[in-house]
C-alpha cells in the first residue's frame, strides 16, 4: 500500500509540473494562430502577448516562419528579430546569425550557422561564410563556462579568407543594453595576425 501511495504521489507531482508547460504551449499555439486573424486588433494583441514570452518561444516561432499566410510570416519574422536567445539557446536551436571580424581598418562581414550541438560536452559544429571574401569554411568549437571558442577547420568554398583561425568570444554580452552582441578576438596561429570579432545572435542573415 505504501508503495502504491508513493507511486500515485510521484505521478501527481509529475502531472502538476507538466501541466503549466502544456498550458503555456497551447497558449502560444493559439496566439500564433491569431496572428492570421481577420481583425487587425486581434493580430496586434497576439503579437504583443507573444513578445512577453521572450526566448522561451523561439523554437515554436521558427516552425511558423515559412507560413503560407503572409501576415503570420511577417509578424513571426518581426518577433524572431526582437527575441535575443542566450548563447546556449542559440546553439541548441542551430541558430544562424551575422557578424564580422576586423584587423585594423579591414572589416569582413560573415554569416555563422550552427549545424550540430552536444549539450553535454558543449561541442558544436557549423559553417562560417565570409560574404565579402567569397569564402565558406566549416567550423568546430566548444561552449565553455564563460567563453565560446571555435576554429575554421575545412574549406567548403575557396575564397580569400584564411583557414585555421581561432575565435574566442565572451559567452555573455559585454553590454546589457545590447544582449545579442557577443564580442571577442580572433587569431591566426600560423602568422600571429589577429583582431576583433563580433556575433549578433538576434540578427537575420540574408546571405546563403
144/82: higher pLDDT:
144
Q: 127: which 3 cell numbers?
A: 559553417
Q: Express each pLDDT in 16-74 by its tens digit.
A: 444 445 566 788 888 888 888 888 899 888 888 887 876 667 778 778 878 888 889 88
* Residue among 23, 73, 32 nearest 51 (CA): 32
Residues 76-112 pLDDT 10s: 877 776 666 788 889 998 999 999 999 999 999 999 9
Percent of the chain whose pLDDT exceeds 70:
82
The structure's pTM equals: 0.67
CB atoms within 10 A of CB 31: 19
Q: Where are the domains of the chain?
A: 2-82, 94-200
Question: If one looks up domain 94-200 in CATH, what number appears?
Answer: 2.40.128.120
What proportion of the chain, given as a percentage, has pLDDT over 90? 44
pLDDT confidence of residue 3? 44
Identify the pLDDT of residue 82.
Answer: 60
Lowest average pLDDT, out of 12-16, 69-73, 114-118, goes to 12-16
Give the pLDDT mean for 179-198: 93
Yes or no: say if 95 and 85 are a contact pair by the CB < 8 Å rule: yes
Q: Which three cell numbers stand for residue 65?
A: 516562419
Is the pLDDT assigned to residue 128 strictly greater than 70?
yes
Amino acid at each position: 500500500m505504501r508503495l502504491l501511495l508513493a507511486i500515485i504521489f510521484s505521478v501527481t507531482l509529475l502531472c502538476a509540473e507538466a501541466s503549466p508547460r502544456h498550458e503555456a504551449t497551447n497558449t502560444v499555439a493559439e496566439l500564433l494562430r491569431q496572428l492570421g486573424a481577420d481583425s487587425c486588433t486581434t493580430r496586434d494583441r497576439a503579437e504583443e502577448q507573444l513578445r512577453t514570452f521572450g526566448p522561451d518561444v523561439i523554437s515554436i516561432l521558427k516552425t511558423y516562419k515559412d507560413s503560407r499566410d503572409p501576415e503570420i510570416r511577417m509578424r513571426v519574422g518581426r518577433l524572431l528579430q526582437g527575441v535575443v536567445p542566450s548563447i546556449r539557446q542559440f546553439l541548441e536551436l542551430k541558430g544562424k546569425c551575422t557578424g564580422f571580424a576586423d584587423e585594423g581598418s579591414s572589416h569582413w562581414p560573415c554569416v555563422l550557422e550552427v549545424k550540430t550541438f552536444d549539450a553535454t560536452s558543449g561541442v558544436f559544429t557549423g559553417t562560417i561564410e565570409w560574404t565579402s571574401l567569397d569564402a565558406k569554411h566549416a567550423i568546430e568549437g566548444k561552449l565553455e563556462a564563460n567563453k565560446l571558442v571555435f576554429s575554421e577547420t575545412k574549406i567548403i568554398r575557396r575564397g580569400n579568407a584564411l583557414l585555421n583561425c581561432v575565435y574566442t568570444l565572451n559567452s555573455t554580452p559585454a553590454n546589457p543594453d545590447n544582449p545579442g552582441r557577443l564580442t571577442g578576438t580572433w587569431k591566426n596561429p600560423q602568422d600571429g595576425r589577429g583582431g576583433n570579432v563580433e556575433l549578433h545572435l538576434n540578427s537575420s542573415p540574408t546571405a546563403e
